[in-house]
Amino acid sequence: MYPVKICTINSWKGDGNYDERMVLMAKQLQDLQADIICIQECFICYALGVNTLMFLANTLQLNANYCAGRKKQRLFKGNMYETESGLGILTRFKTIAHKSVQLPRNRFDEDRKIQQVYLEITDGLHLLVNNVHITHIDIDDTLKAQQLKTLTETIHATKTPQLICGDFNLAETHHLLEAFQQSAGVKDVFEQTNGSTKRCSLVEAAASGNAICVDYIFYKNIAKAAYTIKIINSNVVLNQKDGQGNYPSDHFGYYAECIIDTNE
């Protein structure tokens, strides 16, 4: 049996008090000692040499896998800069393979992907981790449904146990999320260990007393596979503010402790 600790967080690009937030995020991630960290909205500002993923990788001394995302002019620290917002996976494991799958798009949201990495947990045992950020720019949920269909097909395409992390921009009771879990054959790690306990992954919602969750870690096992993913514990993390009232992000993170159990 091999223990694996995984975390997911939407890092809020370059918004808010960015420098203070990054220090706080690194501190709280360091306390978690996660083996795998899936990050959405990894921010890069070329002119200022700012790079969320590499800052965290260097601070936490983890290996970084980056999946390029949308490039555009964004306001950062009071000025407009050419920036990028992508997906990233930090890990203490060796990366065996790294690829991406293009998600359906429209003219308002042109570049979203599924990031996939195969990690070597031990000799001959490779774990597939998926990192995704489903669109929020969708009036009637058509694009969300299309992107979830592609994600489902991508999950089914690989006959191996896997973890799926990210910001789905869907509440846990939304019919599209429920349909995704059923069609993809995935389970929500938080539900597995906390049952129907209410949760919240949005700072603004929590401040107003609303339990709204849009961030998840799912897992999928495959019959007769070489190993099984077993969930030991999961909870909300990255939810502590500093003395100035800053949170690490406008989202809270989710964390799970797993066991990779070889089927011998």
pLDDT digits (tens, 9 = 90+) for 67-120: 999 999 999 999 999 999 999 999 999 999 999 999 999 888 878 999 999 999
Sequence-separated (6 or more) residues with CB below 8 Å from residue 207:
none
Dist CA 30 CA 36 (whole Å):
12
Average pLDDT over the chain, rounded to whole?
A: 95
Q: Of 250, 223, 194, which Cα lies nearest the Cα of 10? A: 250
pLDDT digits (tens, 9 = 90+) for 195-252: 989 999 999 999 998 999 999 999 999 988 989 999 999 999 999 999 999 999 999 9
Model pLDDT, residue 264: 63
Q: What is the total count of domains within the chain?
A: 1
Question: What would the mean pLDDT of 43-53 be, rounded to a whole number?
Answer: 97
pLDDT higher than 90, residue 137: no
Dist CA 238 CA 179 (whole Å):
28
pLDDT higher than 90, residue 153: yes
Dist CA 259 CA 209 (whole Å):
34
pLDDT digits (tens, 9 = 90+) for 175-192: 999 999 999 999 999 999
Give the containing element (helix H, strand E) for 152: helix 142-157
Other Cβ atoms less than 10 A from the Cβ of 236: the count is 18
Whether pTM > 0.85 for this model: the answer is yes
DSSP 8-state class, residue 184: H
pLDDT digits (tens, 9 = 90+) for 122-134: 988 899 999 999 9
Domain region containing 226: 2-262
Model pLDDT, residue 139: 76
Model pLDDT, residue 110: 79
Dist CA 57 CA 156 (whole Å):
31
Tokens of 62: 């983890």
CATH number of the CATH domain containing 141: 3.60.10.10
